[in-house]
């Protein structure tokens, strides 16, 4: 079963706008990760936030984590056409074995 559920399923914005994607999960976690997948390609790791962290930044990415609500958000600021991709959240369900459980993803389209 899917651990994470991303919301929205699809998002379409103009270049320069901010994109916000949300993820909810059901179990306790050690960390939550966000990955990007360009069409027809593999997944690329974007950012990881630990369960004891509330916010993390990396370049134009900002991730928040609310463990009480079992939810996370990924904000991409000043979006570019090159940001067009599917974005997935993944959790470890509290395991330390490296197994990841993915949501269905958000398809982001950034128009020039």
Partner 1 sequence: NAGVTQTPKFQVLKTGQSMTLQCAQDMNHNSMYWYRQDPGMGLRLIYYSASEGTTDKGEVPNGYNVSRLNKREFSLRLESAAPSQTSVYFCASGGDLSPIYGYTFGSGTRLTVV
Dump strand ranges (E) for the chain.
5-7, 10-14, 19-24, 31-37, 43-50, 55-58, 61-66, 71-76, 85-91, 101-102, 106-111
Map residues 37-76 to x or -, x wherever contact with partner 1 holds by CB under 8 A.
Answer: ---xxxxxxxxx----------------------------
Q: Please state the closest distance from residue 17 (CB atom) to partner 1, in A.
A: 25
Strand partners, 105: none
19 binds partner 1 (CB under 8 A): no
For partner 1, the binding residues (CB under 8 A) are: 1-2, 4, 30-31, 33, 35, 40-48, 88, 90, 96-105
């Amino acid at each position: 079963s899917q651990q994470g559920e991303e919301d929205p399923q699809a998002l379409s914005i103009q270049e320069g706008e901010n994109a916000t994607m949300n993820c909810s999960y059901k179990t306790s976690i050690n960390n939550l990760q966000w990955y990007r997948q360009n069409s027809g390609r593999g997944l690329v790791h974007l950012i990881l936030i630990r369960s004891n962290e509330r916010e993390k930044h990396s370049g134009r990415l900002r991730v928040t984590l609310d463990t009480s609500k079992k939810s996370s958000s990924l904000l991409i600021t000043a979006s570019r056409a090159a940001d067009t991709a599917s974005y997935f959240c993944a959790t470890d369900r509290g395991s330390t074995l490296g197994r990841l459980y993915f949501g269905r993803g958000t398809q982001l389209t950034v128009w020039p």
